[in-house]
């Protein structure tokens, strides 16, 4: 027996909760590991001397490895889970919700929120190129975490609940299409990774160009490197003018990811 609309609504809500919890947890880790102790103690204005943290306190600063890992983890989550989730909603959920008269205005504001998420995510994925400071980066993650929780609550309480009551809506089909889109979107990048970090520097460019040569129009691969491959970008521009798209999905601190698509 196929699940009822109410059961599907519960599944969507559970997925929202799982995403919200993950982003919140990672953001808390980032704040814990990334805000230097110096700043924290300076902010405690009425702190007595004997309440100041000991100098042997284990608080860390932005060059900390845990901090670096957490940022990269958050960016991966945003690229491979949140972005395709929002895209799938725009393709399969929102158009159907738009058929319900009283949801039309809400859907248009939800789409604006998706654009806001894209902008904030863009700040994080190009942070080294745009010289986004650590405190700004942490604040951006905080914004995203709080905004996403609110956004998901509105989807749960208004859109999903409302849609589940409409028996003419095939909720199961919508969810199935969304899942299919999300898994294809993510696997189009994860299955087509070219990680050159372990290759000898001399053979890296050759491998990258040969991978690009093998692509058909519209196909892409994800280049993973340990530094900004900017010189390669100029080489691509010279060799394949107007034939490729170059999008940074991560720009440090220790890992660089660029989506290269043949167009």
**Contact set with Fe ion (CB under 5 A):** 89, 155
Report the alpha-carbon distance of residue 263 to residue 257 in Å, rounded. 19
Q: Least separation, in Å, of the C-beta of 159 and Fe ion?
A: 9
Q: Least separation, in Å, of the C-beta of 151 and Fe ion?
A: 6
Residue that is written with structure tokens 């230097």 in the block: 36
Q: Least separation, in Å, of the C-beta of 15 and Fe ion?
A: 8
Q: Which is nearer to Fe ion, 29 or 89 (CB)?
A: 89
Nearest residue to 103 via CA among 172, 44, 39, 154 = 154
Q: Nearest-5° angle of CA 14, CA 148, CA 60? A: 105
Q: Which is nearer to Fe ion, 111 or 132 (CB)?
A: 111
Q: Least separation, in Å, of the C-beta of 144 and Fe ion?
A: 13
Helix (H/G/I), strand (E/B), else coil: 196: coil
**End-to-end alpha-carbon separation of the chain, Å?**
44
Q: Which is nearer to Fe ion, 89 or 134 (CB)?
A: 89
Cβ neighbours of 39 (radius 10 Å): 11
- The continuous run of DSSP H or E covering 256 comes out as strand 256-262
Q: Least separation, in Å, of the C-beta of 174 and Fe ion?
A: 12
Q: Which is nearer to Fe ion, 159 or 232 (CB)?
A: 159
Cβ neighbours of 66 (radius 10 Å): 13
Which residues on adjacent β-strands are paired with residue 258?
Answer: 223, 248
| Burial class of residue 144 in the structure, from the number of CB atoms within 10 Å of its CB (0-12 exposed, 13-18 middle, 19+ buried) | buried
Q: Least separation, in Å, of the C-beta of 177 and Fe ion?
A: 14
Q: Which is nearer to Fe ion, 34 or 84 (CB)?
A: 84
Contact 118, 224 (CB under 8 A): no
Cβ neighbours of 263 (radius 10 Å): 12
Could you tell me the maximum CA-CA distance found in the chain, to the nearest angstrom?
A: 68
Q: Which is nearer to Fe ion, 134 or 155 (CB)?
A: 155
Q: Least separation, in Å, of the C-beta of 76 and Fe ion?
A: 18
Q: Which is nearer to Fe ion, 160 or 260 (CB)?
A: 160
């Amino acid at each position: 027996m196929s699940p009822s609309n109410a059961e599907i609504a519960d599944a969507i809500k559970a997925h929202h909760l799982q995403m919200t919890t993950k982003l919140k947890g990672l953001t808390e880790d980032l704040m814990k590991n990334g805000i230097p102790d110096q700043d924290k103690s300076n902010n405690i204005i009425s702190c007595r001397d004997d309440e100041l943290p000991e100098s042997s306190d284990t608080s860390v600063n932005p060059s900390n490895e845990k901090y670096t890992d957490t940022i990269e983890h958050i960016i991966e989550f945003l690229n491979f889970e949140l972005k395709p989730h929002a895209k799938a909603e725009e393709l399969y959920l929102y158009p159907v919700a738009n058929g319900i008269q009283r949801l039309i205005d809400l859907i248009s504001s939800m789409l604006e929120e998706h654009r806001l998420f894209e902008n904030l995510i863009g700040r994080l994925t190009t942070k080294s190129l745009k010289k986004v400071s650590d405190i700004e980066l942490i604040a951006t993650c905080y914004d995203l975490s709080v905004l996403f929780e609110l956004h998901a609550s509105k989807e749960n309480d208004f859109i999903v609940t409302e849609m589940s009551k409409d028996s003419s809506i095939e909720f199961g089909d919508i969810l199935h299409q969304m899942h299919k889109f999300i898994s294809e979107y993510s696997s189009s990048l994860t299955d087509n990774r070219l990680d050159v970090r372990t290759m000898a520097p001399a053979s890296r460019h050759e491998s990258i160009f040969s991978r690009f040569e093998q692509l058909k129009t519209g196909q892409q691969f994800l280049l993973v490197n340990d530094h900004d491959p900017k010189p390669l970008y100029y080489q691509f521009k010279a060799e394949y003018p107007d034939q490729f798209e170059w999008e940074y999905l991560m720009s440090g601190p220790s890992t660089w990811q660029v989506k290269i698509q043949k167009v």
